[in-house]
């Protein structure tokens, strides 16, 4: 079935995308940047992340053979997926949802409060809002329309592809993005519950995290949540699995789980 079933042609006009790009980067982000010069690195990181997720989702969409209409829907969801992050940081100086609020829900609230999608037909609005709402959940609810579930999963893949890059840069000391560590301490060991989730092919819950190693295990578990063959192929091409495993403690249990993750990604990259 065509994933655009139920969506009108020209669902998202290019002109609207252009206006929203201008609003987000030149008005919304600039407003928060102007509040405190010390916030600039953290806010610019999220603005850059948004740009890169837009690029990732377009690359995935093209590799999946999406037409221009579907690509614009995908790009719009990526453009707005973290719009609530800027208020989150301005209010709390952290990106920890555990300590503040669900940033995806806040993004949906901002989109609605500012009427950003009002020019679009209701069905299109619903698809974009659902993609934004679902992008950080443990799983995409199976209750949405085929289009909502497709674009939600596509956004989740694109988001993870860039978060892995940012996290690895931070862990390797190539960039100082300490605010991406969710205020977790860099202490030895890890939670058995995090490894158990990976062992069972599940995502690691945020509530399990106690230190940076737990966060790395959570990010390793994200490979189980990838949805599309091109996403797996990107992971393999960029060496994300091996790099993350190399940043974790040398431990037989982690090595055992790592072998299973490698095999899972390889099968996904081959479309099996």
Q: How far apart are CA 257 and CA 168, in angstroms?
A: 19
pLDDT in tens, 153-203: 999 999 999 999 999 998 988 766 666 787 889 999 999 999 999 988 888
Show the domains of the chain with their CATH numbers. Answer: 14-161 (1.10.3210), 184-269 (no CATH)
Q: What percent of the chain has pLDDT over 90?
A: 83
What pLDDT sits at residue 1? Answer: 42
Which residues are CB-contacts of 93 (< 8 A; sequence separation ≥ 6)? 39, 42, 179
Closest among 96, 95, 133 to 112, alpha carbons compared: 133
Q: What are phi and psi of 32, to 5 degrees?
A: -70, -35
Q: How far apart are CA 263 and CA 235, in angstroms?
A: 12
pLDDT in tens, 238-257: 999 999 999 999 999 999 99
Helix axes 212-221, 252-269, angle to 10 degrees: 30
Token pair, residue 262, equals 């490698």
- Examine the pLDDT at 4 and tell me if it is beyond 70: no
Please compute the mean of the pLDDT values over residues 122-142 and round it to a whole number: 95
Please compute the mean of the pLDDT values over residues 205-230 and round it to a whole number: 94
Q: Is the dihedral of CA 137, 138, 144, 148 positive or negative?
A: positive
**pTM for this predicted structure:** 0.94
pLDDT in tens, 59-95: 999 999 999 999 999 999 999 999 999 999 999 999 9
């Amino acid at each position: 079935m065509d994933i655009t079933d139920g969506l009108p042609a020209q669902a998202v006009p290019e002109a609207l995308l252009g206006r929203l790009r201008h609003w987000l980067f030149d008005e919304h982000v600039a407003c928060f940047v102007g509040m405190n010069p010390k916030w600039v690195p953290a806010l610019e990181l999220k603005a850059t992340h948004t740009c890169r997720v837009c690029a990732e989702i377009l690359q995935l969409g093209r590799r999946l053979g999406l037409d221009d209409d579907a690509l614009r829907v995908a790009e719009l969801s990526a453009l707005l997926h973290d719009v609530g992050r800027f208020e989150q940081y301005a209010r709390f100086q952290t990106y920890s949802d555990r300590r503040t609020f669900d940033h995806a829900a806040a993004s949906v609230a901002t989109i609605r409060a500012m009427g950003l999608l009002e020019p679009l037909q209701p069905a299109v609005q619903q698809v974009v809002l659902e993609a934004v709402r679902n992008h950080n959940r443990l799983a995409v609810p199976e209750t949405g329309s085929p289009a909502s579930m497709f674009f939600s999963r596509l956004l989740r893949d694109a988001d993870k592809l860039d978060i892995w890059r940012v996290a690895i840069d931070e862990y390797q000391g190539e960039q100082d993005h300490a605010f991406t560590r969710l205020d977790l301490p860099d202490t030895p060991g890890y939670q058995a519950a995090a490894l158990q989730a990976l062992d069972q092919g599940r995502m690691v819950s945020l509530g399990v995290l106690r230190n940076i190693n737990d966060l790395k295990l959570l990010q390793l578990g994200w490979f189980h949540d990838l949805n599309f063959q091109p996403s797996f192929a990107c992971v393999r091409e960029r060496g994300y699995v091996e790099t993350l495993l190399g940043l974790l403690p040398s431990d037989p249990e982690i090595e055992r789980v790592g072998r299973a993750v490698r095999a899972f990604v390889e099968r996904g990259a081959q479309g099996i």
